[in-house]
Structure 1
Amino acid sequence: MEERQPQWDATQERILDAADALIARRGVRGVTIAELARRAELSRPTIYRSWSDADDVVRASLLRRVARILATFPASPGSRSELVDDVLRFISLFREDPLYAHLLADEPEAFTRYTLERVGSSQRLILTWLAAAIGAAQDDGSVRKGVPDEIAVMLLLIAQSAVLSHGTVSDLIPETAWERELRAALDGLLRP
């Protein structure tokens, strides 16, 4: 399940910056190779050297955003409580990210397509991070025994479901209670 931090060169970063701007302004359907080329001031063949189509660029754009969020977590947590804190912090940063917030609020079908219909590179990167964190917390004895990769999958499912359903239940449960109950669910999954 190992997924390494992606690396992009300066030209690819420029293209991904253009994709971010287009997604924010027009949504994912507004991202075309022609628009990317125009906004990035590059030729279409330059874009096609790195990606096969606009959908691939959107996926790379979303992966870059996840990688940037994960980069704010420099060390693996040493305990279950630190791991739960990190997952909740990741969720908060994810929900605050302007592009992901836009997709969740205005294009939930696109969010679903890019994050839930298949396990893509963004999810694999998150799973790699979670599995390493789970393994470190298992060494501490505060996380139950089990295969870290398998526990990571369930942790990701719980977190994704909570993020995707947040808007649906926001009238039923206050934010503080939502976070408290999500913390309890995550902690319960990991508890020995």
Structure 2
Amino acid sequence: MVRSAQSLAFEEAWDAARGEAPFPDRSNIDLKHFAKFARWFAIIEPDPNRMALPFTLVGSGFFDFLKTDLTGVDYLSLADPAIRQLAYDCVMACLRQPCGLWQITPASIAEGGFMPYEYTILPISKGKAEADHIVIHVNFELGTFAPKPHVDRVEHSTVWHWLDIGFGVPAIGG
């Protein structure tokens, strides 16, 4: 499977926001670069002291699928318990060795069955010299579901690729 035009454009906007830095500062994630992604955009501030990936900013589109505001919600509470540790470890790897992650992930839906969606994850910083947050663009337009179904749970990714942003990629994977 190939990355969507939305995923590639999201990485290009992230790259423009970082300039010459290894990753952008959160203050550089502005409407100038990210307006077209706002509906399906989120920021997660991982907790380095415990396994938690809380959303700190969430685009309005997520409410359509999850029927709740995700601000403050731990992403891991939405994921299959069997993949929570791996999901946390991979996000922390994106921060330690600055890199991105692209994946296709199925979500189980309330109506029965699964719906694939595309994640593009990249590191950012909140005024620090090291990456400490991730920005995410989610593309829910991979399937033909009408009306849009309610997502129950995030499953294990079926396609997984690290995105080398100039510092190599971690050895762990999905």
Classify the TM-score, shorter chain.
Answer: under 0.3
**Greater Cα radius of gyration, structure 1 or 2:** 1
Normalising by structure 1, what TM-score?
A: 0.23
Normalising by structure 2, what TM-score?
A: 0.25
More strand by share: 2
